[in-house]
Amino acid sequence: MIQVENLSRQFGNFTAVDNLSFTVSPGEVLGFLGPNGAGKSTTMKMLTGFLRPSGGRVLVFGHDIWRDPLPAKKRIGYLPEGAPSYGEMSVQGFLDFIAAVRGFRGQEKKRAIEIAVEKSALGDVLFQTIDTLSKGYRRRVGIAQAILHDPQVLVLDEPTDGLDPNQKHHVRELIRNLSQDKLVIVSTHILEEVAAVCTRAMIIAHGKMLVDDTPAALAARSESGRLDDVFRSVTGGV
């Protein structure tokens, strides 16, 4: 599992993440929910070892992400916000590069790329340069690189932000399929995303955890049964 203990991050006098503690177990899809600027992306960067915490620690299947980084990071697939990549490379070339970085060689590398391409439905654009792809396909490329090494943990930061309804549907379906055998954390400010794919929802604002419950239990807190009403109530309309 992932264990987050008293995690904090300051930027000068500003506290972006304030003493967060939680655990996530295999089979769970955790929706990390909050308004823009709540501290979601900062937390995702600390969970994956891209940003050093000011305090606290993250354990990934017992491995401290900073003190024992290689065993921890081998278990993580990460899609950062915006799905950054090398736009001048083809999809095939980019995934080949990522597979090599991950230590794959020969037939093992070829097979890992084939599986990631199949799961991400990238076969039709495999030889296009990434700069020519739609935003939805670029997101899929980002997911493909995150799952290439078949990680136990997937951390997806705003995976459907800016996509059209059809693109959102395809990415959410992919997340549901991947969650069958992985621990998944999805950071989002889109309420419908939580209801669509998550088994658990955490709401944070100003870097603090406000609520941790199932989407159904959260919705039941409101007379309307709507997550957005609960969200506004909990965050004070932030």
Q: Model-level pTM?
A: 0.87
**Cβ–Cβ < 8 Å for 31, 186:** yes
| Predicted local confidence at residue 104, as pLDDT | 95
| Predicted local confidence at residue 225, as pLDDT | 65
In terms of pLDDT, which residue wins out, 185 or 194?
A: 185
Q: Where are the domains of the chain?
A: 2-75+151-235, 87-150
| Predicted local confidence at residue 238, as pLDDT | 54
Mean pLDDT of 148-157: 92
Mean pLDDT of 122-140: 92
Q: How many residues does the chain have?
A: 238
| Predicted local confidence at residue 34, as pLDDT | 83
Lowest mean pLDDT among 45-54, 121-130, 186-195, 206-215: 186-195
pLDDT in tens, 196-224: 889 999 989 889 998 898 888 887 877 67
| Predicted local confidence at residue 67, as pLDDT | 93
Which residues make Cβ contacts (< 8 Å) with residue 180, sequence separation at least 6?
Answer: none
| Predicted local confidence at residue 144, as pLDDT | 92
**Confidence category of residue 77, pLDDT binned at 50, 70, 90:** very high
Question: 2-75+151-235: which CATH architecture?
Answer: 3-Layer(aba) Sandwich (3.40)
**Cβ–Cβ < 8 Å for 7, 55:** yes
Edge-first strand order for the sheet with 14-24 is 14-24, 2-11, 55-60, 63-64
